[in-house]
Amino acid sequence: MIPFDAAVVRRDFPILDQLVHGKPLVYLDNAATAQKPRAVIDAISNYYLSGNANIHRGVHLLSERATAGYEGARLVVQKFLNARESREIVFVRGTTEAINLVANAYARPLLRPGDEIVVSILEHHSNFVPWKMACEATGAVLRVVPMTDAGELRMDEYERMLGDRTRLVALGHLSNALGTINPAAEIVRLAHARGIPVLLDGAQAVPHMKVDVAALDCDFYAFSGHKLFGPTGIGVLYGKAELMDRMPPWQGGGDMISSVTLEEVRYNTLPAKFEAGTPDIAGVVGLAAAIEYLNGIDMEAASAHEIALARYAEAKLSEFDDVKLVGRAAKKAGIVSFVMTSAHPHDIGTILDREGVAIRTGHHCCQPLMHRLGVPATARASLAFYNTREDVDRFVDALGQVRKMFG
């Protein structure tokens, strides 16, 4: 593996080399979606140029090729997550769909009035709303783990919440809004000690750290391709075979059946049982290309680089007397969330855009968290390994412009 160098890997991402409002683009919105390396763009393009066909039932060469690409990608994901079996990897549209699958096919049939699901105040809406919906449909209760003012999960409260009625824990691995890295292994250990299964929302974790589902021993793990430098519209649900075998399908259609008569439908085995209809084959091919690209990068060094840049940005921002950093967890990824007393986050984002700097502003799909923080919105810069110190300096300089206009 070649030593990590942000300036070198950056060249693999053609989109970064462009002007925005006449200024070189500084892309700091990676938590919303990451940019794609040429290897991913080429894999998708080659698939459509020479390999496009529907999968699984075709006898012609292109269909066989597409099926091999699709099922080969499942092995790539299995290895990436260190799952025991490839049938534990289900392709879905993204993290949102993965969590909805578990909420509908695992939780809803199981939940009785008074049962409990545990989430936290840090969750993205996609790891909150599906559970709220499941609770409303069944009479179950949503328990919400609070956080400290620094943005860390209150593990003492979490442990206290786990009880006889807890049917599932569903927690984020890494907070998109604050960057907090949750103690995933400890979360699983405490739940399993009481026989409670755990789903981890890994949407923000997989692009920034090595995730090993066997070592974590989580029961479900969800992530999206597009945050992992792959295409949009594709994601993964990992689930332990012994749990997913027992779950009913949640969507009916082609591929998820083994036989259909007028009287009876028999369902397919894993993973096809959860992959009804023609999937996003090109998306799967692109996702595998993204993972293979990442396999060539020293992810530990890349992650250390991102974190160092974020801490550098935070040190610079703390020199601004009108900036308040939001989220000061001890274990934190490359996410810098902040508010300014002089300007609304929306204005910050708009002015930064004019300077060529792309950040995200708003509630980050975490309204309960914003409520807890007592702010309607934050501005968020989120880093990827292709960002450089120069990007951060441009970001900080652009914030200086905001101050000049509003301060």
Ligand X SMILES: Cc1ncc(COP(=O)(O)O)c(C=O)c1O
- Closest to 184 in 3D by CA, of 120, 243, 95: 120
Which stretch in 47-55, 83-91, 201-209, 338-346 sits in contact with ligand X by CB under 6 A?
201-209
Is the CB of residue 288 less than 8 Å from the CB of residue 73? yes
124 binds ligand X (CB under 6 A): yes
CB of 177 to ligand X, least distance (A): 8
C-alpha–C-alpha distance, residues 127 and 123, integer Å: 6
CB of 96 to ligand X, least distance (A): 3
Among 104, 166, 204, 303, binds ligand X (CB under 6 A): 204
- C-alpha distances (whole Å) from 80 to each of 89, 164, 283, 289, 344 are 11, 34, 17, 12, 40
* Residue 104: how many other CB atoms lie within 10 Å: 19
Which stretch in 120-128, 152-160, 184-192, 325-333 sits in contact with ligand X by CB under 6 A?
120-128
Among 29, 115, 201, 306, binds ligand X (CB under 6 A): 201
- Number of residues interacting with ligand X: please give it, by CB under 6 A: 13
Q: Which CB atom, from 51 or from 172, has the smaller least distance to ligand X? A: 172
Q: Which CB atom, from 158 or from 320, has the smaller least distance to ligand X? A: 158
176 binds ligand X (CB under 6 A): yes
94 binds ligand X (CB under 6 A): yes
DSSP bridge pairs for 336:
381
Q: Give CA torsion, residues 210, 283, 353, 303, to 10 deg.
A: 10
Q: Choose, from 135, 218, 365, 366, the residue flagged as catalytic.
A: 365
Strands 220-224 and 198-201: parallel
CB of 227 to ligand X, least distance (A): 6
- Closest to 249 in 3D by CA, of 85, 108, 101, 132: 101
C-alpha–C-alpha distance, residues 213 and 197, integer Å: 13
Length of the chain equals 407
126 binds ligand X (CB under 6 A): yes
CB of 99 to ligand X, least distance (A): 7
Active site residue 365: yes
CB of 324 to ligand X, least distance (A): 22
C-alpha–C-alpha distance, residues 170 and 188, integer Å: 10
Q: Which CB atom, from 176 or from 387, has the smaller least distance to ligand X? A: 176
C-alpha–C-alpha distance, residues 157 and 63, integer Å: 52
127 binds ligand X (CB under 6 A): yes
Among 66, 203, 206, 352, binds ligand X (CB under 6 A): 203
96 binds ligand X (CB under 6 A): yes
Report which secondary-structure segment, H or E, holds 62.
helix 61-81
Among 30, 35, 78, 95, binds ligand X (CB under 6 A): 95
Q: Which residues are catalytic?
A: 365
Contact residues: ligand X, CB under 6 A: 94-96, 124, 126-127, 172, 176, 201, 203-204, 224, 365
